[in-house]
Chains A and B, each alone.
Chain A
């Protein structure tokens, strides 16, 4: 079974630029999560989708971050404009229906200069 796929793996941008990350969850997984992991900290949930609907986006900085999950499969996370403090690893995870375990992708490491 293929795991959660993310791209790109690494991205370097300058502040005030825009960036987008892509996630393809495990086939059949209805729930998709985006986490932000700042160096030295545990991952923090940014947004949770159930199929293509948002379940929780309470910690998403909506003035600059946006996410969508069209057709309930792939998802993109966008930052516009980026700030220095957005430097982090962005992790995507998915879970199957009626299961609590989340399966994580390899992450995208973002460096904002």
Chain B
């Protein structure tokens, strides 16, 4: 069975500061990894994904994530955040025959001026 752990339910940060949102996963099969962002009252938007190849993945809005197989992690980073980055961020894993997404519980990124 697959699972995803997002250790931080909320991450407060000041504008223009760097941020890292943590994600750890467990799986007995090869996985694909995703980060989605959810703005208030909206659906989920794909930020970036790791399918194979380079372990450093770049996404939209200046975000990037690094796949670390030995630590089973896929942490999301941004060197300088903006107020508009305030949102809920979900890490997800898929693998196996159906490509079902298993989501973490989410991390609220709260950017303060």
Contact = CB atoms under 8 A, between A and B. Distances in A.
Contacts, number: 52
Interface residues of B, number: 23
A100 B43 contact: no
Contact of A107 (B43, B49, B98, B105): B43
Contacts of B4: 42
A103 interface: yes
A43 B105 contact: no
- In terms of DSSP, what is the predominant structure of the interface of chain A? strand
B42 A106 contact: yes
B43 A48 contact: no
Given A4-B43, A106-B42, A42 B105 contact: yes
Interface in A7-64: 31, 33, 40-45, 48, 55-56
Interface string B12-28: 00000000000000000
Given A43-B103, A48-B100, A105 B43 contact: yes
B90 A42 contact: yes
Contacts of A102: 46, 101
A55 B106 contact: no
Given A41-B106, A43-B90, 7 more contacts: A40-B106, A42-B104, A42-B106, A43-B101, A44-B103, A55-B98, A95-B99
